[in-house]
Structure 1
Amino acid sequence: MDTTLRDGEQTPGVALKTEEKVWIARKLDDLGVDIIEAGSAITSEGEREAIRAVTAEGLDAEICSYCRIMQQDVDYALECDVDSIHLVAPVSDLHINVKLKKDREALKEMALNATEYAKDHGLIVELSGEDASRADLDFLTDLYKAGVEVGADRVCFCDTVGLLVPEKTTEIFKELSSAIDVPVAIHCHNDFGMAVSNTIAALNGGAKEAHMTINGIGERAGNTALEEVVMVLEWLYKYNTGIKTDELYKTSRLVSRLTGLAVASNKPLVGGNAFTHEAGIHVHGLLADTSTYEPITPESIGRERQIVLGKHAGKSSVTLALKELGLDVDESQLNEIVGRVKELGDHGKRVTDADLQTIAEAVLDIYRESKVKLEEFTVVSGNKAIPTASVRLTVDGKEIVEAGIGDGPVDATFEGIRKAISGFADIQLEEYHVDAITGGTDALVEVLVKLSREGKMVTSRGARTDIILASVEAIINGINQLIQD
């Protein structure tokens, strides 16, 4: 049972519109979920409208509404034309006495009356024990048995505040599954981070159904994450769940977008870092065999591998990333690219695919056969100083030193370069454009320049965190292109 649309929507700040519930329900159905808890019909007319919209879709999944053990709740569920109800009875003495202000016998009578009423009206009934992990197990078992006698089709054990541990869970479900003649379900919360482990333990103990949500969303610390349980069963237990696992990531992204709940970058399977690699030794292993540092293939849940580069990047990392970008480089070009990546990494930056492509293309331009090479340059600029630049170039094998002034440091540098090559080629700067590839004051910037010579025009680029250095790089690249042409 997926309860993203009911328990998941109870996450603080989440309120799904009717059409959004329908979109998610369609995706869950396509995923292969057996039961979709579409909401709680008692909540409001808007909620009932949304549940009716889901039932009207004619999905393969059984459509369920949450109900308290009250006839009114069942009547509202019937209005929504659902297939089943998740009929929830508080079963711990704490809940019975404090919340309901009743005793066990009164609670049992209410639960059985509601079960009979729902069955008389043609509904599938899953009788659920709320706060079951703090309930007396003998009383709970007796309630389940009595519920089955009056028609309950399934029963559910709810670890409402996440207090179970796997060893205890397995014991409980071995006992319940042997004592109850209908499928027993598990519903866990993640207050101690144990929801997935406890759900797997319950299934090992004999549970036939598990309640889960996409991305593990829900009240407080959330519910059991469906994608995690499914992949644990499929990959670690070799059990065929019938779920289309390659659609899990798309489903995760849809739920995240519509609920506005971001998925933590380190969340298993669907988090941003789950199939992202940076450290050089890991990527070196991936080049040989992706299973060295990936327990499953990213494609198995509809994802792609990502290589993120930083100060840990080595040649293997960069080679793999360039390969995935479709770029081929030789050893000297690779060394230059790696050096630039590490330089950015040392400044605390992560180099994205867009960054790497920009760096690589700039480097590939540099390593063409160059007749003009920059040896060094110095720029002086300030609020009371005229921008002045001195440049030292090697032009067709001859060293030339020149200086220039301009409206700014880039303009002054270009003027110095233009003067230095004036006896060799007459170059004009036609356009100059700067883009920040990433945000922040230390962003990688890409400079595009358009240069002309005797009616011929080229566009070239430079990429650095230093805007002046990127500009000089772009200009020198462009000059060499024009001279070659």
Structure 2
Amino acid sequence: MEERKVYLDKHTNLLQLEEHMYPLVEVSQPNVFRNLFRYDEIPKIAFNDRIVPHSMPDEIWITDTTFRDGQQSRAPYSTEQIVTLFDYFHKLGGPNGKIRQSEFFLYSKKDRDAVYKCMERGYQFPEVTSWIRASKKDFQLVKDIGLKETGILVSCSDYHIFYKLKKTRREAMEHYLSVIRECLETGVSPRCHLEDITRSDIYGFVIPFCLELMNLMEEYQIPIKIRVCDTMGYGVNYPGAVIPRSIPGIIYGLRVHAGVPSSLIEFHGHNDFYKAVSNSTTAWLYGASGVNCSLFGIGERTGNTPLEAMVFEYAQIRGTLDGMDTTVISELADYYEKEIGYRVPSRTPFVGRNFNVTRAGIHADGLLKNEEIYNVFDTDKFLNRPPLVAVSNTSGLAGIAHWINCYFRLPREVHVDKSSPLVCAVKEWVDKEYEEGRVTVLTDGELVEVIEELCRKNGWKSPAEPVQEA
């Protein structure tokens, strides 16, 4: 019996015992994990308390699918809009290229025109990459355009293999490997999209398949990426949860048992169970270098992992933005609203109109005393979005004072407070509005008009007037 090799793991600096090989497990009937996924019941999250270690890669990054998955749930972007957004991604990613790639369709002339124009920008990052059908014609198209990499769909759950493709596991694997070999023959690096991985047989199909992919990579000396696609959002980040729902377990299996380097593992999440962000961060923590995102989470069904969310997740777990320019996120939100006509839901974190707006008077009083009490971080610095108070019948004097200071961006030395005659006069007007039956929040335009009228009538200095320098 052949002895297993002992080797030094360069990441942990611990001696490891080489694992047994994992052969494909052929089955006559599909394993659809009915114990977890009964269609007439809510999916179950089971635990076996098998814990795998954190293994944060030396470098992590974000990749973008706004122009691929993001376009599957909305009207297509124009070529000009795509190029503008691509410019924004370049600026947001900063000099270290934290927005590493942007993924495009190549089906239509409009798609290809956008690819050419984005490539003409000459940016190192985001790198332009593609998603194609598994055909020689499409592979050649990728090569002709000059792309180095393309995504290829390789569905890996028995739901897809048996019910959609009507194949056995071995037939599916052999088909996928032949398609990937064709891609490698053209000199293009394949990115294998393991669709529906969180309902797949991880050690009966996924690990054996990825071992074969690593053999092909060694044979052709061309990188092969593994995209971990949580297609239905079933993935969970809880320690000790069982596979196939465990994101830590899947990433660990790919790294340790299939030998896939962290730099070639990328997580792609969906938000069906509100877990896209936490699962993406978990993928980073357990060894995936890349997380694939869509701007504002726009994507199929409930959407993908929001790109802007992962920018702030990156900063939280690494302690730095590594050069990312977060003010671009607010510019992108304005562009979507004014140029594309898409309104981000008002309470969406970081980008919604009301994400750092408070309506409660007692909270507004806290903001007036120290904005750290009710604001997540310096949103003015990082997003050009100072915390605001929506003025209504519950805002009180503190809320009105805070609104005036923030709306007119008054320097701290000339801030108005609750005792200001202007604030008191506006409060009287607000109270009268609601006493007469108003039920809606006051608009910025209404408040500005009232403030200007009160200042003219009483001879007060308008907060809109520039502050004189000493």
Report the TM-score when normalising by structure 2. 0.72
Query: Deviation at 1:255?
Result: 4.3
2:389 and 2:395 in contact (8 A); partners too: no
Residue 42 of structure 2 is matched in structure 1 by none
Residue 186 of structure 2 is matched in structure 1 by 121
Query: Deviation at 1:114?
Result: 2.8
Tell me which of 144, 159, 178 is aligned to 2:210: 144
Using a 3 Å threshold, how does the CA distance of structure 1 residues 273 and 238 change in structure 2: closer, same or farther?
Answer: same
What is the CA–CA distance in structure 2 between the aligned matches of 1:242 and 1:115, rounded to whole Å?
A: 36
Residue 199 of structure 2 is matched in structure 1 by 134
1:215 and 1:226 in contact (8 A); partners too: yes
What is the CA–CA distance in structure 2 between the aligned matches of 1:309 and 1:51, rounded to whole Å?
A: 46
Are residue 15 (structure 1) and residue 80 (structure 2) matched? no
What is the CA–CA distance in structure 2 between the aligned matches of 1:277 and 1:209, rounded to whole Å?
A: 35
Are residue 363 (structure 1) and residue 468 (structure 2) matched? no
Residue 442 of structure 2 is matched in structure 1 by 351
Query: Deviation at 1:157?
Result: 0.8
1:162-215 CA-to-partner distances (Å, cap 9, x unmatched) read 111222212222222223332311101111221111111221221111000110
Q: After superposition, where does 1:32-181 map in structure 2 within 5 Å?
A: 32=93, 33-41=98-106, 43-61=107-125, 62-138=127-203, 139-151=205-217, 152-167=223-238, 168-179=246-257, 180-181=259-260
What is the CA–CA distance in structure 1 between the aligned matches of 2:206 and 2:369, rounded to whole Å?
A: 55
Q: Give the alignment's Cα RMSD to 1 decimal.
A: 2.4
What is the CA–CA distance in structure 1 between the aligned matches of 2:422 and 2:341, rounded to whole Å?
A: 43
What is the CA–CA distance in structure 1 between the aligned matches of 2:148 and 2:304, rounded to whole Å?
A: 23
What is the CA–CA distance in structure 2 between the aligned matches of 1:357 and 1:240, rounded to whole Å?
A: 36
Larger RCO of the pair (alpha carbons < 8 Å, separation 6+) = 2
Greater share of strand: 1
Q: Secondary structure at the match of 1:5?
A: coil
Q: After superposition, where does 1:53-452 map in structure 2 within 5 Å?
A: 53-61=117-125, 62-138=127-203, 139-151=205-217, 152-167=223-238, 168-179=246-257, 180-182=259-261, 183-235=264-316, 238=319, 240=321, 242-255=323-336, 259-298=340-379, 299-324=381-406, 325=408, 326=410, 331-345=420-434, 347-367=438-458
What is the CA–CA distance in structure 1 between the aligned matches of 2:337 and 2:445, rounded to whole Å?
A: 25
Identity of aligned residues (%): 25
Using a 3 Å threshold, how does the CA distance of structure 1 residues 303 and 367 change in structure 2: closer, same or farther?
Answer: closer
What is the CA–CA distance in structure 2 between the aligned matches of 1:333 and 1:54, rounded to whole Å?
A: 52
2:153 and 2:194 in contact (8 A); partners too: yes
Using a 3 Å threshold, how does the CA distance of structure 1 residues 368 and 3 change in structure 2: closer, same or farther?
Answer: closer
What is the CA–CA distance in structure 2 between the aligned matches of 1:258 and 1:129, rounded to whole Å?
A: 35
Query: Deviation at 1:104?
Result: 1.9
1:14 and 1:259 in contact (8 A); partners too: no
Using a 3 Å threshold, how does the CA distance of structure 1 residues 258 and 140 change in structure 2: closer, same or farther?
Answer: farther
1:70 and 1:110 in contact (8 A); partners too: no
What is the CA–CA distance in structure 2 between the aligned matches of 1:283 and 1:220, rounded to whole Å?
A: 37
Residue 425 of structure 1 is matched in structure 2 by none
How many aligned positions are there?
367
1:413-439 CA-to-partner distances (Å, cap 9, x unmatched) read xxxxxxxxxxxxxxxxxxxxxxxxxxx
Query: Deviation at 1:293?
Result: 0.5
What is the CA–CA distance in structure 2 between the aligned matches of 1:254 and 1:66, rounded to whole Å?
A: 26
What is the CA–CA distance in structure 1 between the aligned matches of 2:453 and 2:447, rounded to whole Å?
A: 10
Query: Which one-letter code corresponds to 1:142 in the other structure?
Result: P
1:77-125 CA-to-partner distances (Å, cap 9, x unmatched) read 2233223112221111111223222222222223223323333333232
2:210 and 2:254 in contact (8 A); partners too: no
What is the CA–CA distance in structure 1 between the aligned matches of 2:449 and 2:89, rounded to whole Å?
A: 40
Structure 2 unaligned regions, length at least 5: 1-62, 218-222, 239-245, 461-470
What is the CA–CA distance in structure 2 between the aligned matches of 1:65 and 1:341, rounded to whole Å?
A: 55
What is the CA–CA distance in structure 1 between the aligned matches of 2:404 and 2:342, rounded to whole Å?
A: 33
Using a 3 Å threshold, how does the CA distance of structure 1 residues 31 and 334 change in structure 2: closer, same or farther?
Answer: closer
What is the CA–CA distance in structure 2 between the aligned matches of 1:89 and 1:63, rounded to whole Å?
A: 21
Are residue 26 (structure 1) and residue 52 (structure 2) matched? no
Residue 376 of structure 1 is matched in structure 2 by none
Query: Which one-letter code corresponds to 2:255 in the other structure?
Result: S
Q: Secondary structure at the match of 1:59?
A: coil
Q: Secondary structure at the match of 2:64?
A: coil
2:155 and 2:161 in contact (8 A); partners too: yes
2:67 and 2:105 in contact (8 A); partners too: no
| Structure with max Cα Rg | 1
Query: Which one-letter code corresponds to 1:141 in the other structure?
Result: I
Structure 1 unaligned regions, length at least 5: 370-485
| Higher alpha-carbon deviation: 164-173 or 262-271 | 164-173
Q: Secondary structure at the match of 1:96?
A: helix
2:293 and 2:304 in contact (8 A); partners too: yes
Report the TM-score when normalising by structure 1. 0.70
